[in-house]
Amino acid sequence: MVNLNSIRWREQTDGLLTLGRIIVGVVFGLLALSFWSLQIGQYDRLAEMAENNHDRTISLRAPRGALVDRNGNVLVDNRYTFNISVIRERVADLDSSLDLIGRVTGADVDALRAAVLDQRGVPAFRPIVIVPDASLAQVAAVQARAIELPGVIVEHDPARYYPSRKTASHLFGYVGEAQEHQLRDVSDPRVRLGAIIGQSGVEQSYNLLLMGENGARRVAVNNVGREIETIDQVSPRQGRQLRLTIDLDVQQAAEEAFAISGFDGAAVALDPRTGEVLALVSLPAYDPADFVPRVDQQTWSTLNSDARRPLQNRVLQGRYAPGSTFKVAMAVAALEEGAITPDFSVNCAGGARFYQRFFRCHTRHGRVALHEALEKSCNTYFYTLGSMLDIDRIHHWAAALGLGEPSGIDLPHEVPGLVPSRAWKRLQFNQPWYPGETLSVAIGQGAVSVTPVSLAVMMSTVASGGLRPVPHMLQAVRSGNGWVAADQPAPQRVGLKPETVAAVREGLWMAVNRAGTARRARITGRDVIGKTGTAQVISLEGLAAVKAEGDSGRRFRDHGWFVFAAPQDDPRIAGVVFGEHAEHGYLAAPIAKAMIEAYFAKHDEPEGERPNGA
């Protein structure tokens, strides 16, 4: 039953419904436009913001390159340090878990609790390291209980590993996190905050080769930073493996001989033909493993405050009076300057008068020529040379042989020694040079000081007949499956007359093989040449004064030197041994002997003893 009223409200309704539909349609159109604007118009910007929300990159540390010796023995390698960590949110009962971990690993449970407590601000989904650098036994023990220990994981990180502990620690150096001043050097982007870089030794000199290329893992994280999944991963690339010129046997022979001798010191052995370093010892040594994964504050301050200065590399940084070893340079200077011939002789009456003063010798040598003076280390003879030569000529020849100059060895922080000259004295003291001072220099005392490595260079230069090598340790760099030889620094030719070389060699041969001071380095069939030296640390009067105060005087005892080369005619090993407070040079000689023997043991047999037949 349709009535008028009904028709009226229906017309009205239809109009309103149309209006409502238009409104809804327009609003939906606007909504579609809004979504178009966001999803198409602002897509790039908003998609990037979404990426930034969840994308995180985690660096994967690259292992450093390994170091091997010239025979392929591994000197420094890498290992994985294992950290036992807990992820608290996955642990059902933290206390009982820690108790169990303590029981199976032998770790102190209170220390574990403290480790967790220390990091309670860390989000619960992040692992907290509770046993850093865990042993394999501890790792195995924890993994065997994995079912009882949910949320306990083992993480690993590459770290340096030293198979032979303290051996050659100054040579390799240690590694550590980049320091602020190192970060300022922007030449290599890999050296950045948190990067492990070489802090001394070869690790520092060849850091850029040894450093690998860190990898990265891109992960998606959720709103609280929890890792949900790995998006992609670039594996880390290990640093280059380096082959050093070091001969581990020679190195160990030297260190063992030092251990027997009972004193600290330094030793370097070079191949005089090339300058390759065969061994480099500085004692006392530190343990580079103390710096892995990082050095703790207490160890660091102990190392720094130790009076024996274990962090100092005495080979490059110790400066000492050369004592009688300087007589080698004096002999070369006198012969090359033409001041004397090898036959020139001096009568030693237990000393001699120069410039109105008596200069003492250890004993009464009688008449000695150059070779006997070197053999017996006659001071009188070299005082005489000192009185005949100008200090600047001595300086010239000593410098030519490498004394008072940096050797250029490929290790950081080398310091030069000092060979005085007129110019030096004027600059330093604004005083003229007095001839009497030359006499002290002539026997390696007075202002002259040298580093062990520079004496090794001197000995190499004289023994090889005038080829001054630059000591170096990098032999080859690993490339793919082979080795690429490293650039070798060229030796410098020092013009020495053959007669000079022959005369000095003979005197040094006699010092070892006759009645000389260095008989303890004698090896049958090896024709070792050498020269001892004793460096006064304090004057005799001074020593008496300290002893009177109750000091044992050990730290004022003389240093002992021994420079050496072998064999005489065609030297293949030359070097120096420095015995700190060893009192006598001849006590250093057995260490050299140990190195020479170790070197030849694996090279050829002495000529006469070679077995017949092929």
Chain residues that interact with other proteins, rule: CB under 8 A: 1, 5, 9, 12-14, 16-17, 20-21, 24-25, 27-28, 31-32, 34-36, 38-40, 42-43, 45-47, 49-51, 53-54, 220-224, 228-229
Nearer to other proteins, 53 or 302 (CB): 53
CB of 11 vs other proteins, minimal distance in Å: 11
Nearer to other proteins, 25 or 163 (CB): 25
Maximum alpha-carbon separation in the chain: 157
Closest CA to 461 of 509, 397, 414: 397
Q: Indicate the helix (H) or strand (E) that contains 442.
A: helix 435-442
Nearer to other proteins, 42 or 524 (CB): 42
Nearer to other proteins, 39 or 179 (CB): 39
Q: Identify residue 65 by its one-letter amino acid code.
A: G
User: CA-to-CA distance for 567 and 528, rounded, in angstroms?
Assistant: 5
CB of 60 vs other proteins, minimal distance in Å: 21
Cβ count within 10 A of residue 527: 19
Nearer to other proteins, 42 or 71 (CB): 42
CB of 221 vs other proteins, minimal distance in Å: 7
Which single residue is written with the structure tokens 């017996």?
376
CB of 231 vs other proteins, minimal distance in Å: 10
Helices (H) and strands (E) in the chain, counts: 22, 23
Nearer to other proteins, 32 or 111 (CB): 32
CB of 45 vs other proteins, minimal distance in Å: 7
Nearer to other proteins, 27 or 122 (CB): 27
Nearer to other proteins, 36 or 429 (CB): 36
Nearer to other proteins, 145 or 226 (CB): 226
Beta bridge partners of 566: 573
Which single residue is written with the structure tokens 């003893």?
609
Per the rule left: phi > 0, alpha: psi between -120 and 50, beta: everything else, 74 is beta
CB of 116 vs other proteins, minimal distance in Å: 23
CB of 28 vs other proteins, minimal distance in Å: 5
- Please report, to the nearest 10 degrees, the dihedral formed by the alpha carbons of residues 593, 595, 597, 603 taken in order: -150
CB of 276 vs other proteins, minimal distance in Å: 57
DSSP 111-178: HHHHHHHHTTTS-TTSEEEEEEEE-HHHHHHHHHTTTT-TTEEEEEEEEEE-TTTTTTHHHH--EEEP
Question: Taking the CA of residue 2 as centre, how many other CA atoms within 13 Å lie in the half-sphere pointing to its CB?
Answer: 4
- Pairing between β-strand 242-244 and β-strand 474-479 as defined by DSSP bridges: antiparallel
User: CA-to-CA distance for 276 and 263, rounded, in angstroms?
Assistant: 26
CB of 226 vs other proteins, minimal distance in Å: 8
How buried is residue 529: exposed, middle or buried, by Cβ count under 10 Å (0-12/13-18/19+)? buried
CB of 101 vs other proteins, minimal distance in Å: 25
Nearer to other proteins, 7 or 144 (CB): 7
Beta bridge partners of 353: 358
Nearer to other proteins, 125 or 483 (CB): 125
Helix (H, G, I), strand (E, B) or coil at 603: coil
First CA to last CA across the chain, in angstroms? 133
CB of 152 vs other proteins, minimal distance in Å: 18
